[in-house]
A and B are shown apart, each in its own frame.
Chain A
Amino acid sequence: MQSMELPLVLFTVFSQAAIGVTLMRAVRTTADGAGSVDNDARREWGLIAGLMAFGMLGSLFHLGHPLSAPMALKHLGTAWLSREVLFAGMFTVVTVLAVLAAGKAGKPVLAWIGTLLGLGVIVSAGMTYAPPALPVLNNALPFTFFLASAVILGAGFGSWFAEGERARLMARIFTTALVVGLVLNLAAPCVWLSGGTVMRMTGQAWLGSGFYWAHVLVLAGCLGVVWKTGTVPAWLPVLALLGELAGRAGFFADTIHTAANMGGLY
């Protein structure tokens, strides 16, 4: 088991929650093509900015020298981490602008700009955490995990700001994302079991991990609650957030590095 990288867990999950809420806000406010009933824009943008600021603050604790964090923008040419920092910075600026600019109704254009920048964060984070040293993740899987987290948390927390038909829309998106997340998380380690040595070691580590099973149980539990009630109760997004935090801790702690098997068969 490697380090669970708590600062990175906080950064990735909270930033994806912020991006997801922004995406759902953009979807919700343009769902019927005629604008929306939107009485709570400042509060929603405040939540988005708060989630993002907490994630950004958490990420600093991952660095050996946090005060030098702005230097991470230097290598935009090839380093996906530099691009991730750039997109995350721009997304944060948009969320702060949106809080300042939002009246009761908000500005849909900021939601769409935020969504595009947020997708930039998710793509670049997906590439950053897909290095050749982690064979099970050296593909599009981190991106799909992160996107699923963003949509689950976005639809969950977005339901706090939706009423009537739009609340039902959020519940449908939340349910679909939970199913996708559950299938991804159940299938991935099973596929790895039939791979090379390091892939198999990772599959076994995930399937024997409390983090992994806590995440899967929370996803299944959330799905059960939505199926039973037909809505997203106010407490459910918080449970989903805890599940995503557990899953992300396992993502970092239980994924085996190629160097762990040097001298053995690959």
Chain B
Amino acid sequence: MKKQYAFLVDTERCIGCFTCAMACRNYYHQVEGVVWRQVHPLSEEIYPHRERAFLSLSCNHCENPACLNVCPVEAYTKREEDGVVVHHQEKCIGCGNCIRSCPYGAPKYNPVEKRAEKCSLCHERLDAGLDPACVQACPTDALQLIDLAEFERTNEVQYPAGYPRMEGLNPSTRFVLPKTPKMVRR
């Protein structure tokens, strides 16, 4: 398997503090209303406990990205060296086809630029040997950067409940599921 960078979301460790989302915003200063990383609480049907569990999600840098396939102007590329899906905003004509097509809602419309944009896995930071801003900022190590070609843990899943199953796209994000909380009875 070729090198494929991906996010590992450890929902057991995630405390829903939104630091990852804020770090992304601090780093890129997206315009109001445009969010590249969002923290979604799992519904009580999925995690029926007083404690909450969260999915921190942004672009999944899919193996077969819908955004790249549907873009009429070839504004998306997938990097050979690490599988990161990059949006080249200067090529975008703002047709919204990627926004309509991505089942994870990763591309967003920038109403100021009148073009789409999305998480680039901080590829310029990766090239400089740094972690993405969201990964670096996570206080509990719940969000990690992994290379799927070398990843050896066995307790992760690709499609947890609360996340659309899209086998044709093969999203790269992996998840560690939350455990049932311990009940202490007196």
Contacts and interface: CB of A to CB of B under 8 A. Distances in A.
B181 interface: no
B30 to A, nearest CB: 16
Interface in B1-41: 38, 40-41
B45 A78 contact: no
A129 to B, nearest CB: 8
Nearest to B95: A63
A85 to B, nearest CB: 7
A87 B105 CA distance: 29
Main DSSP-derived SS at the A contact region = loop
A64 B91 CA distance: 12
Contacts of A65: 92-94, 114-115
Nearest to B73: A71
B70 A71 contact: no
Contacts, number: 116
Given A64-B94, A72-B95, A263-B41, A258 B164 contact: yes
Given A62-B95, A63-B95, A133 B161 contact: no
B103 A265 contact: no
Contact of B40 (A72, A134, A263): A263
B73 A74 contact: yes
A122 B129 CA distance: 48
Nearest to A80: B70
Interface residues of A, number: 32
Given A133-B103, A262-B162, A68 B40 contact: no
Contacts of B163: 262, 266
B43 A265 contact: yes
Interface string A63-91: 11100110111110011111001000000
A67 to B, nearest CB: 9
A1 to B, nearest CB: 15
A264 interface: yes
A134 B102 CA distance: 9
A64 B98 CA distance: 13
Given A72-B73, A74-B73, A132-B66, A264 B45 contact: yes
A133 B100 contact: yes
A128 interface: yes
Given A64-B92, A264-B43, A74 B97 contact: no
Contacts of B69: 78-79
Interface of A: 62-65, 68-69, 71-75, 78-82, 85, 128-129, 131-134, 257-260, 262-266
27 contacts: A64-B94, A64-B109, A68-B93, A71-B73, A72-B93, A74-B72, A79-B72, A80-B70, A81-B95, A82-B72, A85-B72, A128-B70, A128-B97, A131-B100, A131-B103, A132-B66, A132-B103, A133-B101, A257-B103, A258-B104, A258-B105, A262-B164, A263-B43, A263-B54, A264-B45, A265-B45, A266-B164
A-B interface, 4 closest residue pairs, ranked by CB to CB distance from nearest: A64-B94, A259-B105, A64-B114, A263-B40
Given A258-B105, A259-B103, 9 more contacts: A65-B93, A65-B114, A71-B72, A80-B70, A81-B70, A132-B66, A258-B104, A262-B162, A263-B55
